[in-house]
Amino acid sequence: MKNTKTLRIVIYRNVISAFALLFILLFACASQTWAQCLTSNLDITTGQYNMTTVAAGNNDPLWYCVNKTGDFVGGLPTPPANALVVTPCSGWAGGGTWISDNQNDVTPGIITNQTSDLTFERRFTLCAADDVTFNLNIRSDGFIIDVLVDGVSTGLFQTVGNWMGGPLWSPTPFTQTLAAGAHTLQIVVDEPPQYSYDPVGFYLNGSLTSVNTSLVNDQDANCAHYSCAPRCDDKCYWTVDGNNISSGRNVFGTLTNDDIRIVTNGNSTTARGIMTGGNSTTGGYFGWNTTVPTARLHVNCVDGNNPRNIMGLPSDIRFERLEPGSGNILVIDPQGYVYDSGVPLAGQGGDAGGLIAMQKEIRDLKTQLAELRSAIASGSSLKSQESENILYQNMPNPFNKETSIRYYISKMQETAAIVIYNVDGKEMKRYTIGVSGQGSVTLSSDALLPGDYLYSLIIDGQKIDTKRMVLSK
């Protein structure tokens, strides 16, 4: 038993390395994600986000309605608010994704008794001072009376309406030198007095181009929490120092001594894991399935380390295709702490296959013992079994290639069978039994998927007993 237990936990010697590799992969992925968050060409087309066209009736996440004048005042929503992507009004030419302040100002439109303006705003961020070129192609129902950068007019305005057709209004691209930080591009759409319902909308196809790669790519949803500053805020929990592993400068961590809790969307109030803060003595503990770790790696496997437990959860620790090796046997004390025994596995004969076979034999003996205890608890005895119909537990169980199912039939009038079912009750295989007495059938795992199965002894149409078995291949 001692050898069996120690062999069973030999693979735990790699757990620390496995978790270290996990974090390296996670943060390698994170660094790759952040790398795409700076660009030299930013698409500012209305109704476009994350390489997808925003459907009509939804807010444009990147364009805002920030001001209203004249008869637009009082309409919903109150600015500043995200502009609404709208269904183009009948007669609007050129396609594209049009935006407005609300759908009612498109259908049926609005009556303007005076000149009325809507100001739309596109926000963008530079991580470094740079020269930015504005490339704008615009169509509007009304007129563009001003284009502003950071609230300062560029002097651009549209003289001929183009909502019913004609080319897009494409002013000559212009370049401005902008400082690092947040900036705005504003387009003012003017609706002159109209004494009948008139729709209002605006469509822009364009981009911002910087000399250097300094524009934050807010079109990428993965960059929603990107920060130019080399610091952490309430939406950035990790910082990375350096980008060259060979130089030894790649360090990640928080800027405080607080604990780091791993929370999933499934349960946002309970941490799934934790890395404790503090100093080198009191901190550095990593816990999984426990928020009070007491070791550098503390895994709580209750209701989680048995794939067939009552909760049906996957194993907390799993290794696949481990390469062969040699080393000392690890031992576990009653508190669950793992130690190096100092005894080489080869010193115990090196017969890993023999120990595995012994494990299987112990499982089979436990199964038979359970059957015996069940028989005793039910008031039956070995002597009385000859007068009963008996279905025995399959051996081995679990199995991966084949297993034997024994039975004893005291008498039958017509037919008997061993029937195999999946856990949904679907019949998978049937073995007909022709004579009474002691016997067995051999079940092959061919055409069966790994998992739990049920099998029953049926005599003359009556189900005598049902048991469970596990296919583990």
Structure tokens at 298: 């503390």
The pLDDT, as a whole number, for residue 321 is: 80
In a domain, 160, yes or no: yes
Q: Which of 155, 188, 219 corresponds to the end of one domain?
A: 219
Task: Give 153-202 pLDDT, tens digit per residue.
Answer: 999 999 888 888 778 899 999 999 999 999 999 999 999 898 889 899 99
Q: Confirm if 126 and 150 have CB atoms less than 8 A apart.
A: no
For 118, counting Cβ atoms within 10 Å of its Cβ (0-12 exposed, 13-18 middle, 19+ buried), the class is buried
The pLDDT, as a whole number, for residue 379 is: 54
Report whether pLDDT(237) > 70: no
Task: Give 384-411 pLDDT, tens digit per residue.
Answer: 445 588 999 999 998 888 999 999 998 8
> How far is Cα 11 from Cα 18, in angstroms, rounded to an integer?
11
Element of type H or E holding 25: helix 15-35
Task: Give 363-384 pLDDT, tens digit per residue.
Answer: 767 777 776 776 666 555 444 4
In a domain, 248, yes or no: no
* C-alpha separations of 195 from 89, 100, 115 in Å: 18, 20, 12
Asked which of 58-62, 86-90, 356-360 is least confident by mean pLDDT, the reply is 356-360
In a domain, 335, yes or no: no
In a domain, 74, yes or no: yes
Longest dimension (CA), the chain: 107
Residue range(s) defining the domain that contains residue 198: 41-219
In a domain, 407, yes or no: yes
Residue 430 belongs to domain with CATH number = 2.60.40.1930
What DSSP character marks residue 395? B
Q: Which of 186, 203, 219 corresponds to the end of one domain?
A: 219
Element of type H or E holding 371: helix 352-377
The pLDDT, as a whole number, for residue 411 is: 86
Backbone Cα Rg of the chain: 36
pTM above 0.85, yes or no: no
In a domain, 381, yes or no: no
Task: Give 288-333 pLDDT, tens digit per residue.
Answer: 878 788 888 887 776 655 544 445 556 667 777 888 878 888 888 8
The pLDDT, as a whole number, for residue 272 is: 74
Q: Which of 170, 187, 219 corresponds to the end of one domain?
A: 219
The pLDDT, as a whole number, for residue 28 is: 39
In a domain, 162, yes or no: yes
Report whether pLDDT(241) > 70: no
How many independent structural domains does the chain possess? 2
Q: Confirm if 122 and 203 have CB atoms less than 8 A apart.
A: no
Could you tell me the sign of the dihedral formed by the alpha carbons of 93, 78, 198, 108, in that order?
positive
Residue 100 belongs to domain with CATH number = 2.60.120.260
Give which of 96, 94, 91, 88 is closest to 167, Cα–Cα.
Answer: 94
